[in-house]
Copies of this chain bind each other. A is one copy, B any other.
C-alpha cells in the first residue's frame, strides 16, 4: 500500500496519527457507557454483531495488519483471537462463523478490554520495533485502522439499537443525552445542475478508501436535487395513502418482500392509539413530523420517490452536487444522536445527517485498484448487489465523512441510519 492509495494527509505528522488513534480508541468505549456485559453479548441477526465483538474486531485489525506483520517484538495476546475476531479476510485466515458471533460468551468483556489495552500499548509504545515498513506507510496503516474503527463506532449503535428493538421493553441505548432541536419550517425546493463532464472520486492528499479512487470523468445529463431530506411528515403521507398496499410504486423484489412480512411502515415505527411513535436510541418517542425519515431501505426509498413522481439520485449526481460548494457544511456538534434539523440554504443535510440511498449499484470505478494483500478484501469483493449510500449520518464520527465517501448496503437493509433525498431529471 502506498500513501497515495490510502494515506494520511501529506502534511500530517506521525504524532498526530498516534494522538488520533488514542482518541478514537477511547471514544469507542464511550459509546458503550450505558451497556451492560449482557447487552454487549447479544447478536440480533446475522447482519449485526455484538458490541463485544466490535470491540475485539477493531482491535484485531491493528494486530493483524500492523503488529503481527511488522512489529518484531510484539507478543500476541491470545492465539485464538486471530480466528475468532477475523471478520471476512480470507487472506489472513479462516473465520469464526458470522451468524454465531453472539454465542461467544468467552472471552469475557473484561478480557476483551485487556486485549484492547495490550494492542493500544503496542501501537503507542515508541520503543516498538517495526521492521520492513516505512514510517509513513505504518502511519497509513494506522490511519486505515482508525477509519475502520470509526465505521464500527456507527455499527455499534445501529446493531445494539436493532437488538434492543427485539426486546418488548424497548430499552434506551443512550441515556441523558440532550434531545435534538428542529427548525420547524423549511420548505423543500429544487437545486438545478447542468449537463456536463464532471470528475468524481477522491482527489486530495488525505485519507480515503480504495473504492473512492481513481478520480475519473463522467458525463451527466441535467438533473435536480431536493434541497433537503424527505421528512417524516412527507413519508407518512405515503404510508397513510396506502403506499405499502399498491404494487405500482414498488420494485418487484421490494413488493415480494413486503408480501412475506408484515411491514407497512419504516422499521422502528409503531402506531399506538392513532398516534405514531418511533423507537430511537433514547427510547420510544412521538414521531417528529419535520425530522428526516430514517431507517428506510432501498425499496422504500425508491417506492416513495416513485409515488412522488421523482427518483433517487445516482451517486455521481450526489457527489457532483456535494462538491459544487452549494452544500451547507452542516457539521454537527459532538453527538446529537438524531438527524440534524433542516436549517435553510441551498443543499441542506448533505453531510452528517442521514445516509442517503442512491440508485447506484456499488461497483468499481474505472481503473479501480484494491489495496494490496488482505486489505484488498476491505471493499472490492462486496461490489455486487449492494447500493451506494452517501453523506454519512448524525452517528458517523466527526471528521470521518467526505463527499467522495461511498457506503454500501443490501437494498433490503433498514437498520442503518438511512434516509431519502429526492432527485429529478433536469428541466
CA distance A168 to B373 in the complex (A): 27
The answer to whether A168 touches B219 (Cβ under 8 A) is no
A247 within 8 A of B: yes
CA distance A167 to B164 in the complex (A): 24
Residue of B nearest to A197 (CB): B219
Q: What sequence of 0s and 1s flags, for each residue 199-219 of chain A, a beta carbon within 8 Å of any chain B beta carbon?
A: 000000000000000001111
The answer to whether B252 touches A88 (Cβ under 8 A) is yes
Chain A contacts with B in 102-133, Cβ cutoff 8 A? 102-109
The answer to whether A106 touches B167 (Cβ under 8 A) is yes
A42 within 8 A of B: yes
Q: What sequence of 0s and 1s flags, for each residue 143-167 of chain A, a beta carbon within 8 Å of any chain B beta carbon?
A: 0000000000000000000011011
A90 within 8 A of B: yes
Given contacts A248-B90, A382-B251, contact A103 B163 (CB under 8 A): yes
The answer to whether B102 touches A102 (Cβ under 8 A) is yes
The residue that A168 contacts in the complex, of B84, B218, B383, with Cβ under 8 A, is B84
CA distance A167 to B105 in the complex (A): 8
A58 within 8 A of B: no
A253 within 8 A of B: yes
The residue that A221 contacts in the complex, of B108, B217, B384, with Cβ under 8 A, is B217
Given contacts A36-B105, A197-B219, contact A384 B367 (CB under 8 A): no
User: Looking at chain A, what size class is its interface with the partner chain?
Assistant: 35 or more
Chain A contacts with B in 81-115, Cβ cutoff 8 A? 83-84, 88, 90-91, 96, 100, 102-109
Residue of B nearest to A172 (CB): B106
A411 within 8 A of B: yes
The residue that A385 contacts in the complex, of B221, B223, B253, with Cβ under 8 A, is B253
The answer to whether B166 touches A100 (Cβ under 8 A) is yes
**Which residues of B have CB within 8 Å of A254?**
384
The answer to whether A163 touches B248 (Cβ under 8 A) is no
**Which residues of B have CB within 8 Å of A37?**
36-38
Chain A contacts with B in 168-203, Cβ cutoff 8 A? 168-169, 171, 195, 197
A298 within 8 A of B: yes
**Which residues of B have CB within 8 Å of A52?**
38
A361 within 8 A of B: yes
A44 within 8 A of B: yes
CA distance A247 to B299 in the complex (A): 30
In the A-B complex, list the 3 residue pairs whose CB atoms are closest, starting with the nearest: A361-B361, A219-B219, A90-B247
Q: 27 interchain pairs (CB within 8 A)? A: A38-B108, A39-B106, A41-B42, A41-B105, A42-B102, A42-B103, A44-B103, A88-B252, A90-B247, A91-B248, A102-B102, A103-B163, A105-B164, A105-B167, A106-B169, A107-B169, A216-B221, A218-B219, A221-B366, A251-B381, A251-B384, A252-B381, A253-B382, A302-B384, A311-B364, A359-B364, A385-B411
Contacts A36-B37, A197-B197, A221-B366 given; 5 further ones with Cβ under 8 A?
Answer: A36-B105, A38-B106, A104-B167, A105-B167, A195-B217
